[in-house]
Structure formats: structure tokens, C-alpha cells
Structure 1
């Protein structure tokens, strides 16, 4: 199983490496007040992908914390019921 995971990781790495090599054109991001940022297309895509993933994880943080609290309360309730029996 370990070998299969490493093979899949290597395959994914090669696909992403090929994507990065094919998309190395320079792009310009224009901001307000005439500010411009010059960078490689793959760098911009990676940056925005990482920012989107981070925002998605941040959006889920409230749900995860609420679920952990509920699980702890249910475990506590189960322990109390088991002690009473």
C-alpha cells in the first residue's frame, strides 16, 4: 500500500511539474492606484489556489469546532449513562 501511495504522489508531482513548465509565461496583475505585480502564471495560480484553500478551511473552522464540542458533550452523556447502569 505504501508503494501505491508513493507512485500516486510521484505521478501527481510529475503532472504538476509539467503544468508548471508549460505555464511559465509572465503575467501582470493590476491593482488600484497604478500598482502592478509581475509574476509567472504558475506562481499566480498557485498563490490563488493556496489562498482559496486557506479561506475554505477558515470557513469550515466554526463547523468543526461546534462538532467537536457536540461530540465531547455526547461522550460525556454516554459516560454518565454507563456509570448509572
Structure 2
């Protein structure tokens, strides 16, 4: 299985390399207010756009990841509290008693 994954990676790398070598023509990049950058290789433009898209995609996942991390910490604390209550024969307080009707 490991060899298959490396073979697929090599195949994708070669395909991207061939694509990059075929797209080296100079292009004009136009920004707002009639600002133009002349003779930029097309592959550089495509690489910059890909990196910016990947960064924006990662930024969109940050809030959900932080929310999951907070939820995991809350659940660990609740588990520790329940385990302490079970081992010490203390009454278990349900989460609704601490924060009734709290949204998830």
C-alpha cells in the first residue's frame, strides 16, 4: 500500500511538472485602477492563485477547529469530574444543572 501511495505521488508530481513546463508563456496581470504587471510567467500567476486559495481555505477551517478543540476540552473536564465522582462516591451533577438549556 505504501508503494502505491508513493507511485501516485510521483505520478501527480510528474503531471504537475509537465503542466508547469508547458505554461511558461508571459502574460499581463491587470489589477484595479489600470495597474498592469507585464511579462509574468503564467505558471507563477497560477501558483500564486493556488497558494492564496489554499490559505483562504485553511482560514475558513480555523473557527470550526477551535470550536471542536473547546468541545473536546469541555468533554474531558466532564469525564474527569464524573470519574472522580464515581471513584469517590460523590453524587454526579448532570450538565443541565450547571448550564440549563445551553446551546451547543
The normalised TM-score by structure 2 is: 0.73
Question: What's the C-alpha RMSD, in Å, of the aligned pairs?
Answer: 1.4
For normalisation by structure 1, the TM-score amounts to 0.87
Q: Point out where structure 2 has 5 or more consecutive residues left out of the alignment.
A: 87-104
1:16 is aligned to 16
| Structure 1 match to 2:95 | none
Task: Report the structure, 1 or 2, having the larger helix content.
Answer: 1
Q: How many residues align?
A: 85
Which residue is 1:29 aligned to? Answer: 29
Displacement of 1:42? 1.4
Gaps of 5+ in 1: none
TM superposition shift of 1:58? 0.7
